[in-house]
Amino acid sequence: MTFSHIKRIRGKKRAEGGETEAQEKPHLEKQPDKLEWKADSAVVGLITMDFDGTLRYVNTFFVRMRGCCSAEELLDRQVSELWDSPAELLQAGRECRDFAS
């Protein structure tokens, strides 16, 4: 029996029982909300960006650190726009790298 057979059988049993995967594993649905709540409650500035350096998430503390009124003012901007000079940007990158290791 292959993995795809097992997956189909599980899906069939689920359909017969009227259950969905989310009902079987309700914790999967709630995880992103918990993570976002924790990030927004942090007393440090947190950001996420894509590989191009475009900001995709900023937490509430980071918004306040930058003196902005809302996250929307920062989202979709390049992270390089947030520092005055390339040297400051490189230093911020080094600090992040050092903190992570």
* pTM of the complete model: 0.54
> Domain for residue 78, yes or no?
yes
pLDDT single digits (tens) 55-79: 999 998 889 988 989 999 999 999 8
Cβ atoms of residues 42 and 35 within 8 Å: no
pLDDT in tens, 78-97: 988 888 788 887 887 788 77
Q: Give a yes or no: residue 86 inside a domain.
A: yes
54 forms beta bridges with 78
Q: How many domains does the chain have?
A: 1
Q: Which domain holds residue 53?
A: 27-100
CATH number at residue 59: 3.30.450.20
Closest to 57 in 3D by CA, of 87, 30, 86, 37: 37
Question: Is 16 within the bounds of a domain?
Answer: no
What is the per-residue pLDDT across 5-59, written as a single tens digit (0 to 9) for each? 444 555 555 556 655 554 555 555 555 577 677 777 777 888 888 999 899 999 9
Q: Is residue 1, in this structure, part of any structural domain at all?
A: no
**What distance in Å separates the CA atoms of residue 1 and residue 51, rounded to the nearest whole number?**
40
